Structure 1
Amino acid sequence: MASLKRLETEFPILDRDFQSFCALRGIFTVQDFLIHDLQSLVADAEQQTSSERFMQAINQVLCVIDGLHRPWSNGVELMEDAQKNKHVLSTGCEGMDFLLRGGLHKGQVTELAGPSSSGKTQMQPIVLQKVMNSILCQSVFDIFSMFDVLHCLESKLKSQMCRGDNDEILIIIDSISSLITPILGSSGSQGRALMVSAMSLLKKLAHEYNLAVLVTNHTVGGDGGIPKPALGESWKTLTHVRLLLSRDCGSDTYHVSLLKHPSAASGKAAKFIINN
């Protein structure tokens, strides 16, 4: 998330005095602002000599936060947008496309979860061959680097939209769990807030720029030892679509089951073959 210091260039009201006021309360970024007690921050600001200016700065940060998330839409507007703009991209596997009602839907985030060697990585080249003429890869090793890449992509998409030129149709984040798990284990509520912010940004990109988003996740042991997607209960509510992938030991046969879909019943399953 953007630091308050970086925002000062665009919003001079967020000057050094305000940054120092926030720093004393552990607030250095927009993310820190999100998880801080707003009522407490406002009460402290009102006690300062520059209280009026600090209150204006707080309102400015709130406006920045509002701008990071798409506005509320009613059901009719969402339906019209889905019918006119949100199409599907074939995964290249008939069984998976059948489960997904055509493939990966633009405007949605699809999660593909599975244990090691279950086929998550093998699926990606198949999807890419079907939907992309050019591929740009970015290596990131922590969630903050991912935020930087996604914000740069957002700036690029805004520029392309102004020119009426948008070539990007798919974002793939391979092993998003490897970026999120480290922050969940050590930072408590802040880690969860970062996780939610990451998904909010992916949903925003998907919706506003008509993209399909595919993220992969590993699995952990569930009830009775049955594998389930990692990242906990909070995470499972965030994605639009969830798929669980597995592979027959020693064969090229893969099984996929539908755990969640906005317009299809969960529990359906299919199988397919990937020839190595």
Structure 2
Amino acid sequence: PGIEAHSHSYISTGQVDSKFGFTMENGDALRAVKKALASPHFELKGVHCHIGSQILDLEAFRLAGRVMMDFLAEARQRTGWTAEELDLGGGLGVYYSEGDDPPTIEEYARAVKESVADKCREHAFPRPRIIVEPGRSIVSPAGTTVYTIGSMKDIPGIRKYVAVDGGMTDNPRPALYQAKYEGLIANKAAEEAAEVVSITGRCCESGDMLIWDLPVPRVEAGDLLAIFSTGAYNYSMSSNYNALLRPAVVLVLDGKADVIVERETWGDLIRNHRLPERLL
């Protein structure tokens, strides 16, 4: 809908210069509505927009509601069609690291509802059913990734690198979006910080860094590093780069743990590989 969501450019989707959706400014969106209405194969119920991801500013959602209701009013005026549903997409952000201040679900719902209601009154438009898709805000805080610490490289006066048995293959977000996370040494959670380290993944990429400058107790090989808020856009974006295997996913609830996604094996990695007979 031509809205800048003030998120990372790679996860902003609603601006005019975007590969997504029908553009309003040049009339594409209205033409799409007319084409759907003219088709015997469709029953057009409403419209959908999505302005981006990891959005912490409610004003972006308010603006989306106002712009979309103005569009629905124009569509009714031009076609006689009245939308029954308005899907405002997702994008509600979560807390990843210091400085993030996400709205609550209640604040988000109130902002969306009020912006739509105000425009409904302005246009004398029947209030549509409002649909939202706050997936990240539901599942991201529910996930924690636990790594085992391996090798370390201490460069005096510069930095101490601490490698773990994962990285950008199970969490590409820091490499893709410069995403920031918080974590702790799980088996030393009650100990005071004694050093500052940077957590590196095991891929042969300088960009495979999970956390820069993390205060931790004195760290040792075999320690367990827990990184928080990894329930969204981690496993679903994982890969086998460098022929690394995806980890298991474990559901923990009420003191009980169950494996819900099995750890990959070397057999899984090469299952789809084929050697043509002509090369034998």
| TM norm structure 2 | 0.23
Structure having the larger proportion of residues in strand = 2
| TM norm structure 1 | 0.23
Structure having the larger proportion of residues in helix = 1
RCO (CA 8 Å, sep 6+): is it higher in 1 or 2?
1
* Greater Rg by CA: 2
